[in-house]
Amino acid sequence: MRNRVWLAQCPDYGQSLEEKIEKAFDALQVWDKIRPGMRVVLKPNLVMSSKPEQAIITHPAFTAAVGKCVQKAGGRVVIAESPGGPYTPAAIKAMFRATGYRDMAEACGFTLYTDCKSREVTLPQAKRCRELSVVEPFLDRDYLIDLPKLKTHSMVGFSGAVKNLFGTVPGLQKPELHCRFPEREPFSEMLCDLCHFLGPDLSLMDGIWAMEGNGPTGGQRRDLHVIAGSESPWALDVAAASLVGLEPEKIAMLREGHERGYGPLDLSELELVGDPMETLLAPDFLKAQASSTDFIDRLPKFLRPAAKKLATPYPRIDKKRCVGCGKCAESCPQHTITLREGKAVIRYQNCIRCFCCHEMCPKHVVQIKRLGLLRL
């Protein structure tokens, strides 16, 4: 049951979506697990303020459909999220309003968490990060539902159920963690620590409008028409990554999770139910540029450090289109972006290539570049 992954085609965010989610609840035997009065916390991906049609955030209609099923089971729905940037009541209220979550929650009778309280926690089984802070509802819940958006990710390759839980860490502590773990491998290990600690009870992925290319915010919308769910965030990510032509063993957080015994790594280990996977595949899904450095692993060992240095992509600001809003500087863990004459400027000597600036720029003018010689 733990490795069961339910997959379904879903044409849009209309009427049929709630019926599909009900089927997911049937297939994953969720109805009996949510008891009347339970506090059920939903964690969508609201990384930045954007319209649902941009496919950056978990669509409010998707979250609404899940919440309504939770209500049918007798649960009380609380929606919580800590996006990028400062985590304050004013900022999160503005985010819920701009993304359509405020209106949706009012219409459905859900509670939006806006108190922005967090607690420091110790992760007893952590291998990389033993101490961090987590936003309170994710700790004080009876049942946690992770609601990722299916997207590529410039730093870690894939943004699914495991990565989505990084949004349980309060606002500006996220850049701090990028600073502590600037490389993809240790950062992915930290994500494994966090996901294992939080242990979501259920994960349901919104891949109706997915994002390909330079996700999680600067890619292009891809209408995949897929939704998927599992009790295991690891199993769900293995299935979803495979579906869009990514190899799970090349995604550091999934490989690490598998090595620790948290989840599977191969499709053969999954129990796939629902619509046949072959009918949902999108092998031409575009990868994120920054994560396409697999060729280094194929070079002789002695050449790898130099090749890695040359091939590591870097952020570059398109000055003509920069509007000087300062969101990139606010999110930069190294404080290496300043505003000069109304334009953002990066001091590269301190840049750790975390791409938070790329992720948080509302105008999508922070591009990911690599040396022309090694551009893939």
Q: How far is the CB of 75 from ligand SF4 (least distance, A)?
A: 38
Distance, C-alpha 320 to centroid of its chain: 30
Q: Which of residues 326-345 bind ligand SF4 (CB under 6 A)?
A: 326-328, 332-334, 336-337, 344
Q: Which positions ≥6 away from 375 have C-beta within 8 Å?
A: none
**Near ligand SF4 by CB under 6 A, which window of 3-11, 41-49, 266-274, 325-333?**
325-333
Does the footprint of ligand SF4 cover residue 357 (CB under 6 A)? yes
Instruction: Note the residue count of the chain.
Output: 376
The site that binds ligand SF4 (CB under 6 A) totals a number of residues, namely 27
Rule CB under 6 A: say whether 354 interacts with ligand SF4: yes
Compute the least distance from the CB of residue 155 to ligand SF4, in Å.
9
**Calpha distance 224→282 (Å, rounded):** 8
CB distance 122 to 130 below 8 Å: yes
Maximum alpha-carbon separation in the chain: 60
**Interface with ligand SF4, residue 42, by CB under 6 A:** no
CA–CA separation, 145 and 28 (whole Å) = 13
> Does 155 contact ligand SF4 by CB under 6 A?
no
Query: What is the C-alpha separation between 356 and 234, in angstroms, rounded?
Result: 24
Q: According to the binding rule CB under 6 A, does residue 167 interact with ligand SF4?
A: no
Q: How far is it, in rounded angstroms, from Cα 290 to Cα 166?
A: 19
143 binds ligand SF4 (CB under 6 A): no
Name which position in 323, 369, 375, 376 contacts ligand SF4 (CB under 6 A): 323
Asked if 66 touches ligand SF4 (CB under 6 A), the answer is: no
Contact assessment for residue 1 and residue 268, using Cβ atoms and an 8 Å cutoff:
no
Quick check: 290 binds ligand SF4 (CB under 6 A)?
A: no
Closest CA to 256 of 186, 180, 165, 189: 189
Give the binding range for ligand SF4 (CB under 6 A) out of 68-76, 116-124, 188-196, 314-322. 314-322
CB of 290 to ligand SF4, least distance (A): 10
Nearer to ligand SF4, 213 or 324 (CB): 324
Q: Which is nearer to ligand SF4, 265 or 361 (CB)?
A: 361
Q: Is 177 in the site for ligand SF4 (CB under 6 A)?
A: no
Half-sphere exposure of 259 (CA within 13 A, CB side): 13
Q: Is 376 in the site for ligand SF4 (CB under 6 A)?
A: no
Q: Which two tokens stand for residue 143?
A: 């049942």
Angle at 251 between CA 245 and CA 252, to 5 degrees: 175
Q: Whose Cβ is closer to ligand SF4: residue 226's or residue 332's?
A: 332
